[in-house]
Structure 1
Amino acid sequence: MIIRLHHIPISRSFRVIWMLEELGLEAEIIEHSIRRGTMYTPEIQGVSPASRAPAVEIDGIPMIESGAILEYLAETHPEAGLGVAIGSPTRARYLQLMHFAETQAAQIEQLNMQHVFLRDPAMASVTTMKLNTKRLQLTMRALEGMLEESGYLLPTGFSAADIMFGLNLRLARYYVHLEDYPKVLAYRDRLIERPAYKAALAKDGEQEIYAQDFYHLPEGA
């Protein structure tokens, strides 16, 4: 399997690197800069029309969307047990979790836009910041209730769904206090101790998104 991955550090493409490490697969990682917009080239747009990471070529097949890539890799490597087969009793829950991870990630993305990426901070909307923070907190509360006795999101143990949320928890801590969600915090700590997570982190590159450890809501919000 020949894999080329267009990657931006601390972005959704980290999920793909982590998944590849869990599967023991090698990839050529082409690192891009979100600040300099290096993915806005005709070559990259041939793989990712919206110039977003991750964009991957697997045996010459272009793919985008981290959830779809993880599902594809899980299905083409069923021996790893990171997906859930059609007909399994946990299939519906697995699919729901894969997509709910993107509901949560969308709130983080909106907060990134308001707190980090606006060139003029005066353009930020306090109402929008407050609303998306609340929505992120609600998804964290939901995640707190979804964790199984296995310590992961499925009763059968670790899966691609955990990789989807693992990236979210790496980013959410810039906007919410994980200590408010003790089961989630313990879950996050369990994920970051996985050897594949640590190997992926070593390949992730230097992030250029966050300039501080936590972004508070403006006073009075």
Structure 2
Amino acid sequence: MLTLHHLAFSRSQRVLWLIEELGLSVELVRYDRTPEFRSPPELKKVHPLGKSPVIQDGDLTLAESATILRYLDGCYGANRFSPAPDTTEHAIHEEWLDFVESTAAGPLLTVLLSERTGEQGAGDRARPMVGNVLSYIANGLGDKPFLMGERPMLADMQMSYFLAMARMAKALHTYPTLTAYLDRLEAQPGFQRAQARGGPMLPAALP
């Protein structure tokens, strides 16, 4: 039985979106955040890092959104949400899939946390990096509806949470292409089902 350990307002929403697209039967174990907006200690019983998403599939326990997305699409989706292996498109897609957390997320999280804590120095230094990242995504998207073309793939699912954070940080208002892209992602039926099942991807503002 596949189990998804799902933390409210978290990256886990991306995994739940793919699960909905694949029509998988899953046990959804939900966790609320602490008053400080942190993961609850119960998640450490599932994975040593105490983070979400985490899936359990038989004896396998996996964390990290991109790894989980690849695993589920490969094992249960015949890789239909990835370009064909050994193609240029596949390599580009893999770069986008890893880019979200390896390059893009850090500066944006710094900006959001600086606004929450009032420590503006780090946020001021990170804002130019956020602008560079958003411009890079906008240029890569171009006039396509999704990163790789006409339909959303794993990289788009991965990108959804990052862009929602950017919207929360009020960083998208000068990027209408990305605002429209996020609107398309959130309008996808699988995304809508995931949100109905797992709750909103993010709160209106950080507490």
Separation in 1 of the partners of 2:176 and 2:200?
29
What is the match of residue 113 of structure 1? 113
TM-score, normalization by structure 2: 0.86
1:136-178 per-residue CA deviation (whole Å, 9 max, x = no partner) reads: 2221111100115441111363200000111111121111342
Task: Report the secondary structure of 2:41's partner residue.
Answer: coil
Separation in 2 of the partners of 1:157 and 1:148?
14
- RMSD of aligned C-alpha atoms? 2.4
Gaps of 5+ in 2: none
8 Å contact from structure 1 (residues 152, 162) kept in 2 = yes
Q: Which amino acid aligns with 1:55?
A: V
What is the match of residue 76 of structure 1? 75
What is the match of residue 168 of structure 1? 162
Q: Is 1:203 aligned with 2:182?
A: no
Separation in 1 of the partners of 2:2 and 2:29?
11
Q: Once the 2 structures are TM-superposed, how far is the Cα of residue 99 of structure 1 from its aligned partner?
A: 1.0
8 Å contact from structure 1 (residues 148, 154) kept in 2 = no
Deviation beyond 6 Å, 4+ runs, structure 1 = none
TM-score, normalization by structure 1: 0.81
What is the match of residue 90 of structure 1? 89
Q: Once the 2 structures are TM-superposed, how far is the Cα of residue 111 of structure 1 from its aligned partner?
A: 3.0
Gaps of 5+ in 1: 214-221
Q: Once the 2 structures are TM-superposed, how far is the Cα of residue 207 of structure 1 from its aligned partner?
A: 7.3
8 Å contact from structure 1 (residues 35, 208) kept in 2 = no
Percent of aligned pairs with the same amino acid: 25
Separation in 2 of the partners of 1:108 and 1:157?
26
8 Å contact from structure 1 (residues 34, 208) kept in 2 = no
Separation in 1 of the partners of 2:51 and 2:159?
19
Q: Closer, same or farther in 2 for the Cα pair 1:15/1:79, shift >3 Å?
A: same
1:85-122 per-residue CA deviation (whole Å, 9 max, x = no partner) reads: 43122121011101111122222332343333xxxx4x
What is the match of residue 60 of structure 1? 59
8 Å contact from structure 1 (residues 149, 155) kept in 2 = no
What is the match of residue 3 of structure 1? 2
Q: Once the 2 structures are TM-superposed, how far is the Cα of residue 181 of structure 1 from its aligned partner?
A: 0.9
1:56-109 per-residue CA deviation (whole Å, 9 max, x = no partner) reads: 112331000011100111212344610234312212101110111112222233
Please show how residues 1-221 of structure 1 align to structure 2 within 5 Å: 2-35=1-34, 39-41=40-42, 44-79=43-78, 81-102=80-101, 103-116=103-116, 121=117, 124-155=118-149, 157-205=151-199, 211=205
Separation in 2 of the partners of 1:206 and 1:165?
16
Q: Which amino acid aligns with 1:110?
A: T
Separation in 2 of the partners of 1:211 and 1:178?
15
Q: Once the 2 structures are TM-superposed, how far is the Cα of residue 127 of structure 1 from its aligned partner?
A: 1.4
Q: Which amino acid aligns with 1:205?
A: G
8 Å contact from structure 1 (residues 169, 188) kept in 2 = yes
Q: Once the 2 structures are TM-superposed, how far is the Cα of residue 188 of structure 1 from its aligned partner?
A: 1.0
Q: Closer, same or farther in 2 for the Cα pair 1:11/1:168, shift >3 Å?
A: same
